[in-house]
Structures are given as C-alpha cells and as structure tokens.
Amino acid sequence: MPGVAHPRRSVRLVALAAAGQLVASVCTAVVLQHSIATTVTPTRSRPVPALADTERSGSDRVGAVRALLRQRAAAVLAHDRERLLDTIDPAAAALRARQARLLDALRDVPLSGWTYSLDPSHAQPPSRGLDRRYGTWWAPDVSLHYALAGFDAAPTERQQGLTFVRRAGRWYLAADDDFRSHRTAYELWDGGSVVVARGASTLVLAHPDNGELVQLLLRETDAAVPRVTAVWGQRWAQRVVLVVPASEAELRRLLPDLGDLSQIAALATAELTHRGSGYHPVGDRVLIDPPNFARLGSLGRRVVLAHEVTHVASREATGPAVPTWLVEGLADYVGYHGLGVPLSTSAGELGAEVRAGQLPARLPADQAFAGNDPALAQVYEQSWLAVVLLARTYGEPALLRLYRTVGSGQPLAQVMMMQLDTTEAAFTVAWRDALRRELA
C-alpha cells in the first residue's frame, strides 16, 4: 500500500568500471574494466527554523505534506495523471509538464513499491529569494523509496530536493530543483521513455533507441549470472538489474558525484541503507556506458559483465574491512575464470613493468585505486594475480571463506593467520615471487 515510510539515512556505493587498457588481438579489441569503490554521504541540512506565529505548531504542515506525498505515491503506482498533477502547484507549469512526462516514462517499469519518507526535523534554511518567489514555503528532507518487482528484495532510497508551498490554505509541490546541495536524484525515467526487457536472471531498463544493445546485454548478463554463481556460490539473489542511459552525459546525471567518466564501460552501484543493526545494501544496479561498451569485443563483454555481476553477488559480504585489492581482485578472478585468457593479454601492463625490473613492493593500498592514476591498469592486474595466487595456493573454498570472514569485520592479517597459517608479509613475498616468475 503506498504511503510515507519511516525516514532512513543512506549512503551510496559505486564500483566504477573504467576502461583501463585497450588490448588489440587478432580478431577483437578488448577494453578491460577496472572498478573503484567509493561512498557518497548525503548532506544533512540545518535544522528547521522556528515557526512563525501563523504556524505556531508544525503538525498541520507536516501532516499536510505527508498526505500530499502519500497521494503522489498512490498516483505513481496507479499511473493516475490527474491525481499526480493535483499535488503540484498550479503556478508551476514546467514542473507539471515534467511530472506528466515522468508518469508516461514509468508506464512499463515493474514497480512493486513507491513511497516517500519525510524528516521534518531537517530542512533548508531561510531564503529571501524563495520568500519572494513563493511566499510561504518549506523544503524538508524527503527520500523516495522504490522497488522493482521480482528484483529488489527491499526498496532503494533516493534523495528528493523538494520545495512545498502553501496556496489558499493548501500545500503543494512547487519545485524539485531549487537547491544545488539538496538536489533530487536523477533516475533513468527522468530522461524519457523507458523500455523494459526481462531475461532468466536479468532485468534491463533502457531508452527505446538502445533496443539492440538491450538484447545483447540481456543475453550476456543471463550467461554471466551462472558463471558468477559457480564460483561465488548460491548465497545471493542471482538476479541483476542493468540500467542503460542514452549517453555518457546521462550517465553523468545518474552519478553526478563521480569524476571523469569518458573511459567508463560499466558501473555497479548500490544504496547502503541504515536499518536495524547497521547499513545494508539495497538497489543493486549495473550501469552501462553505451559508447564505451560498444568498443568491447565478445571476450571483453564477458569479462566486464561477470566482473560487475560479481560485485552485485558479493556486495552483502563486502564489509569495510575488506581491502580494495581483494574486492577488485576477486571480481577480476571471477570475470576471467575459465576463459583461458593468456597473461600477455590480462596482465600486459604489469608484465611490461616486471620485465623492465619494476616489481611492486607491496600489495596495492586502497588509495592506489584512484580513477586518475595512470598506473591503474597495473594496480588491478596486481590485485587479480594476488587473488589467483590465493586460490591456487589454498584452494577456491579457502579464498571465499577468507573473503567472507574479512567482510564480517575481522582484520585481514588475523584471518590469514587463523585460516591460511600465513602472514600478510609472507603472502606478499610469495606474490612478488609469483609475479617475477610468471611475468618476467
């Protein structure tokens, strides 16, 4: 039943799949992806200022806006244009037109839930400009919670930068873009019509012009899911949602806080939502950059999509104690698993350095995964080969047990000693020896 949910704070995780190297082979060009985990913490605005005498109690205002949000949620789920537009300020002609287009764009999206949460204890501070524009207005913290039927076990949470105004004793939505720091999160349906394609394990959301790419992604991701499950195990949903923007520009609107996206092939994202004992990932998505993804050959597509699906599969087990080299090394380990790709292709940059006498002294630190690092390809190759060495030396079950244990919050050094009877220092020596032996 649509309504206003309880407010929850969230942060976003992004595994950014940048095209770090272009490898030419006899019949294909493969752009090998690299992933960077980051978090974006939502901004908490200043407390609501004291109410004027004409609103001695905020309860009427809060109740009215909550009722408005419930009406909006019900209208979206029912695709009821008249009921949705009834919540919008009659003077906001541009917003009314955008909201009508939004409802049309959502027509085929399989929503199982759409609710809003309101936190009246936090709102945007006073503004003389908005006073002149609106008269009586209010911009509290609001979040949208939505879920895709059959794919989202729990709703994801997205910030809404909404401004409400009072007209003739009634509250309306007047704007969703008044504040630069309190902005409304952009979703694919904000950019126009959305087409939906379903596979055995995959849901693809795209714009109509990407129909051919949608079918390719559907086939490739459906094939990637069992490959990932064969390594990671069945302890994950085994369902993946792909989002395909029209362009890199729209990808940037979907992820406005990231840096240079010009070499991005795919990204895995999730919302970490606080409930109960801590943060839990919801709303896992794999985002595609169509122009860069089109540069991939068949091998590149298989590696990239399996890598990103691995991030989805392992998200629940990837706690803050897991070092980035292990997170990204595992994703590449699964991505390359069983493909027989030679080291001259999968570790070309690192191999060139090793042959030139430049052997890494230590496993990559988390800060080495910065997206603008010119040696990023080597960092990922180092990570992948470290995970390969773990699996080869101790067995794949031991590798996965170590990953899950560290993901539960135990320090890597302690887990390596308890489970593998080795130290980080000893493993690093063995890893450097393996690099020298296999890449020289």
- For tokens 């244990």, the residue is 405
- For tokens 């792909």, the residue is 242
Query: Distance between CA atoms of 356 and 410, rounded to whole angstroms?
Result: 37
- Split at pLDDT 50, 70, 90, the class of 162 is very high
Q: Which residue has the higher pLDDT, 375 or 412?
A: 412
pLDDT at residue 276, as a whole number? 61
Query: Distance between CA atoms of 182 and 185, rounded to whole angstroms?
Result: 9
User: Nearest-5° angle of CA 23, CA 28, CA 29?
Assistant: 35
Query: Is 331's pLDDT higher than 60?
Result: yes
Query: Distance between CA atoms of 404 and 383, rounded to whole angstroms?
Result: 17
- Beta strand pairing call for 240-244 and 264-275: unpaired
- Split at pLDDT 50, 70, 90, the class of 68 is very high
Query: Is 140's pLDDT higher than 60?
Result: yes
Query: Is 133's pLDDT higher than 70?
Result: yes
Highest mean pLDDT among 19-33, 160-174, 264-278: 160-174
Q: Are 306 and 334 in contact (CB under 8 A)?
A: yes
What would the pLDDT profile of 176-221 be if each residue is shown by its tens digit? 999 988 899 999 999 999 999 999 999 999 999 988 999 999 999 9
pLDDT, mean of residues 163-180: 96
- Split at pLDDT 50, 70, 90, the class of 271 is confident
pLDDT at residue 21, as a whole number? 34
Residue type at 264 in one-letter notation: I
Q: Which residue has the higher pLDDT, 372 or 352?
A: 352
**Average pLDDT along the chain:** 87
